[in-house]
Structure 1
Amino acid sequence: MKKALVTGITGQDGAYLAKLLVEKGYKVYGGHRKTSTPNYWRLHSLDIFNKVEFIPYDLLDSASISEILKISDPDEVYNTAAQSFVGTSFEQPLYTFDVTGSGVIRLLEEIKRLDKNIKFYQASSSEMYGIESSLIK
């Protein structure tokens, strides 16, 4: 059985992705922020709450990322975790960069250090580029 780690599992994309992976027969581990009270309503609504093993972690802490990777021992990592509110990205640009930029680098570095065979998927939004009147060069 393949194992997948889905970060940001309590968000819309993470929850629907977890449902798809469960339906495909994966053992799914869901990463959620240590610092927040998890909001599992999407997972209950999709009827997969009891089919996922949840692991708290901190995307801003390499040791925490290492721990979640060791516990889940995934074949695949799907990173849907992000600071996803556009308004907040302007109000708190450094925090947004830490989570959405540096957090990805921390994940990739820990994957490289632990097991280079883990497949990695990064979910992102076109919002990160803003509105452009011409092609980005």
Structure 2
Amino acid sequence: SMVEPKVALITGITGQDGSYLAELLLKKGYAVHGVIRRSSSFNTRRIEDLYQDPHVDTRKLYLHYGDLTDSTNCFEIVSSLR
């Protein structure tokens, strides 16, 4: 039986610390979920090299649009990880 990967949820994944943490956890075999703001100004440059094609089954990095000030939105994101 396949072992389920550990799962991490990173807020601020497009920032310096978040992108480094994502890279570290991906190397350790985690499935990494990142929350990004739904704004035209967000910059995914730091995670572009980590991001994989969403249509490929082996990908381990998932991005979610979210707003941490919206508790309903946060609950939906966390619930979707189960």
Structure showing greater Rg: 1
Asked whether the equivalents of residues 40 and 49 of structure 1 are also in contact (C-alpha less than 8 Å), the reply is no
Q: How many residue pairs are counted as aligned between the two chains?
A: 70
Are residue 25 (structure 1) and residue 34 (structure 2) matched?
no
User: 1:49 aligns to what SS in structure 2?
Assistant: coil
- Between Structure 1 and Structure 2, which shows a larger proportion of helix residues? 1
CA RMSD between the two structures: 1.2
* Identity across the alignment (%): 47
Among residues 32, 35, 52, which one is paired with 2:61 in the alignment?
A: 52
Measure the CA separation in 1 of the matches of 2:43 and 2:51. 11
The aligned residue for residue 55 of structure 2 is: none
**Displacement of 1:33 after TM fit?**
1.1
**Displacement of 1:72 after TM fit?**
2.3
Are residue 65 (structure 1) and residue 65 (structure 2) matched?
no
Runs of 4+ with deviation above 3 angstroms:
none
The Cα offsets for residues 61-99 of structure 1, whole Å up to 9 and x where unpaired, read as: 1100101101123xxxxxxxxxxxxxxxxxxxxxxxxxx
Describe how 1:117-136 pairs up with structure 2 within 5 A.
none
